[in-house]
Amino acid sequence: MSSDGRHPLLKVQHLSYTLPHKTLWHDLNFTIYAGHSIGLMGPSGSGKTVLLRALVGLEYLTTGQIWLHERLQSDWIMPQYRTHVMYLPQRAQPVLTSLNASVLQELQQPFLLAVHRSKVFDFELAQRHLTALGRDQSFINQPLDSLSGGELQLLALVRALLLNPQILLLDEATSALDHTTTLACERLLLQWCTEQPARALVWVTHQTDQQQRVGRTQLHLTPA
């Protein structure tokens, strides 16, 4: 438990990631606590995206271990692990490929998967999230092929919040949004982070002002 009473969700020890001619980071150690919003910082090429992908089990580490709820990442069944730790990349893509699919169908689709069978899609909560992000009630019926890059980012964000992971990893996840909508996303995410049971956020952004707004804790990556 942290000094402020927060419970540890994920623990990282002695992580290293080495490319053929470069080590991105070496002996990286940190803990992610419930209720924390972490700004992941570092120069271009320092491996911020690689670290997020490693935390969600999409990259093989050179050394080190990751624990979720004191259980090694390698001991988890990975689809189950990713219900607790979710990754939102910069270029969000819909799950459905049908040209006639709607925003509503896209939001419902993950709940049909076996790994999410214990969860129930909440239409009213989906609408509240979309309203908080500046979208009116007609948005949920729009076809996917009509959405802009920014609207796809919003869709991916709402879909993740409805699935309710414990840790949400955001990789430039608001980069295609205007300033007003970006601020709305930040408010929604920070509120979600501190609700009970408390969750955690890890943000990667190249916008210094956004890092200052959302990174209540800072994690700096420096070249090894």
Q: Average of pLDDT values for 5-13?
A: 85
b/e map of 111-143 (b: 16 or more CB within 10 Å)?
beeeebeeeebeeeebbebbeebebeeebbeee
Q: Average of pLDDT values for 206-212?
A: 87
Q: Is the peptide bond before 8 cis (omega within 30 degrees of 0)?
A: no
pLDDT band at 2 (very low <50, low <70, confident <90, very high): low
Q: Average of pLDDT values for 135-164?
A: 94
Model confidence pLDDT, tens digit, residues 53-103: 999 999 989 999 999 999 999 999 999 999 999 999 988 778 876 768 999
pTM of the model: 0.93
Q: Average of pLDDT values for 164-182?
A: 95
State the DSSP code for 138.
G
pLDDT given at position 3: 46
Say how far apart CA 73 and CA 68 lie, in whole Å: 6
CATH 3.40.50.1010 describes domain 8-220 = no
pLDDT given at position 163: 96
Say how far apart CA 80 and CA 78 lie, in whole Å: 5
C-alpha 132 chain-centroid distance: 18
C-alpha 19 chain-centroid distance: 25
